[in-house]
Amino acid sequence: MTALAGVRKVLGSVDRDSIVRAVLAIVGLFVAFVAALLSTVAADAGQFWPSVILATSSLLLAGVVGILTVPLLAKRVMASRVNDVLHYEMTREGTVYLILVLVIGIAALNTGNNLLFVILATMLAAIVVSGVASAFMLRGLKLELTVPEHMFARAPALARVWVRNTRAFTPAMSVTVVSPEIRTSRSTWVLEKSTFRFPPKRVAGREWFRWPDLSLKRRVSREESMTILQQPVFVPYVPAKSSVSQEVELRFEKRGLYTQDALGVSSRFPFAFLQKTRMMRLDSEVIVFPSVDATDQFYEVLPLIAGEVASFVRGRGFDLYRIREYSPQDDARHVDWRASAKSGDLKLREFTREDERKLRIVFDNPAPDAIAEKHYEAGVQLAASLAWHFASENTDLSFAAPGFEGRDLNEFLRYLALVKPEAQPRLLEELPDTGAYNVVITARPRGSITTALWSGSYVIFLGD
């Protein structure tokens, strides 16, 4: 029964559709081959039309087989062997070496010197040995990328790249982990307008001759990448059946979602004739929070917000808030007897209470093209900086934005990391009054916001 169950399990894992297509492809190609043979026989016998019909049928049948079966089978094979694909790039050393091989080959053919043929054969054998060795060096390697859970824009963070060698006996030497964008980066040569000056080192305006000219310059065009790993990581040695890790410093200039769908392991071993890169699939992503570094605008508004919050909140504490009329439900311990004696009526002291401060940060996301991009990003960073600052204080903090409302700091920073301009005209009007002091960051015109919607508020206008 155990053997029968094993056979059933194997048969269940077999891709029957692929087998059927493969069998049909073999049968179709066999029939096409027979038709081609019969076409040749008919042509030798002088039968023109049967020969044409059989040849055409053979060609059409082979084409149908190729269209219906080959792409699907190749796709399935590539899906299982995508990690074995190697990309080749000629190095500068390899180019010079091939030129030398060509020169020696021409010299050997012209002179017939056996020594030159021996040298040529040795140089060609070195290319073959280099290709086989470097290709073998990249086989059996696995990659893994671990990144911190929380990262902030323009703040360095350490990630770790793991290289695992699954080969049982041979180590891996001189390999480099690269991102696909790094591997495919290219530079181009362009003609730009310039000026021919003679003498070339003479001070501008004092040359003997100045003529319009064209100069050939190298321009590196690199689009901004949203991948995690943006620099190569060199690993000198990985023993057999072991793993080696390298720390790499990550630094992202902008907030947002960064992904890593693939990584490549590259090598020039042993002679650097070719740089071979083997790509591997990867599924890694990280959300980079906005920078929480204090800016000039942050230092300008922070004292004002702190003062407004302190004057807004009342309660029992140590800082005197105001002196008011005594009411029957008040505690008699806080009666100000000196003020009561001067006025002839009972007066009560009120104090600010730091542990009951309630603050709500409201990010009023503007519509697209409402403000310049730099002002928008400055507003996002200001919201993140204020949230980060007051979260470390003894403050009951909450957040509100289009499609977001809560108290979790990390969730609010995640929202700010991915937010894009989107019109929400009714956000401020629909926010409930929670009794908290509101810090509103908005791009609306001055005078269009009614601060009486809540108990208290401080409005920061973006773009000012």
Q: DSSP assignment of 102-115, as one string?
A: HHHHHHHHHH--HH
Residue corresponding to tokens 């000629």: 90
Residues with Cβ < 8 Å from 56, sequence gap 6 or more? none
Residue 208 has, within 13 A of its CA and on its CB side, a CA count of 4
Question: Among 349, 361, 385, which residue's Cα sits nearest to residue 441?
Answer: 361
pLDDT of residue 317: 47
* Cα separations in angstroms, 44 against 37, 55, 134, 394, 453: 11, 13, 52, 100, 98
- Report how far residue 186's alpha carbon sits from residue 383's, in angstroms, rounded to the nearest whole number: 39
In CATH, what class is 83-177+232-289? mainly beta
Residue bearing tokens 């003020």: 339
Residue 245 CB neighbour total at 10 angstroms: 14
Helical (H) or strand (E) element with 79: helix 70-80
What is the residue type of 270?
P
Please give the pLDDT value at position 67: 65
The set of residues, in sequence order, having a beta carbon less than 8 Å from that of 13 and lying 6+ positions away, is none
- Which is nearest to 386 in space by CA: 425, 426, 416? 416
pLDDT of residue 36: 79
| Residue 431 φ then ψ, to 5° | -70, 135
Q: How far apart are CA 338 and CA 344, in angstroms?
A: 10
Quick one: pLDDT at residue 412?
92
Angle at 313 between CA 311 and CA 318, to 5 degrees: 80
Give dist(CA 409, CA 362) in Å, integer.
13
pLDDT in the model for residue 162? 92
Q: What is the structure's pLDDT at 307?
A: 66
What SS3 class is residue 376?
helix
Write the burial class of residue 98 (CB in 10 Å: 0-12 exposed, 13-18 middle, 19+ buried): middle
Query: Distance between CA atoms of 126 and 7, rounded to whole angstroms?
Result: 48
Q: Side-chain half-sphere of 215: how many Cα atoms within 13 Å?
A: 10
pLDDT of 417: 92
| DSSP-assigned letters across all residues of 253-315 | SS-EEEEEEEEEEEE-TTT-SEEEEEEEEEEEEEEEEPP----HHHHHHHHHHHHHHHHH--B
Instruction: State the 10-residue block means of pLDDT for the chain, 464 residues long.
Output: 52 61 78 82 80 78 70 54 63 86 82 84 86 82 88 90 89 88 55 71 70 65 67 90 90 89 86 84 88 83 72 52 71 71 75 64 84 88 90 82 88 92 73 79 72 67 72
The sign of the torsion formed by the CA atoms of 420, 385, 438, 358 equals positive
Answer whether the bond into residue 199 is a cis peptide, omega within 30°. Answer: yes
Residue 79 is predicted with a pLDDT of 46
Token look-up 């991009």 returns 373
Question: Residue 127 carries which side chain, given as an amino acid letter?
Answer: I
Please state whether the predicted TM-score (pTM) of the whole model is above 0.75: no
Residue 229's CB: how many other CB atoms inside 10 A? 25
Distance, in Å, from the CA atom of 165 to the CA atom of 376, rounded to the nearest integer, reads: 47
Q: Is beta strand 157-165 parallel, antiparallel or unpaired with respect to 242-250?
A: antiparallel
pLDDT given at position 164: 92
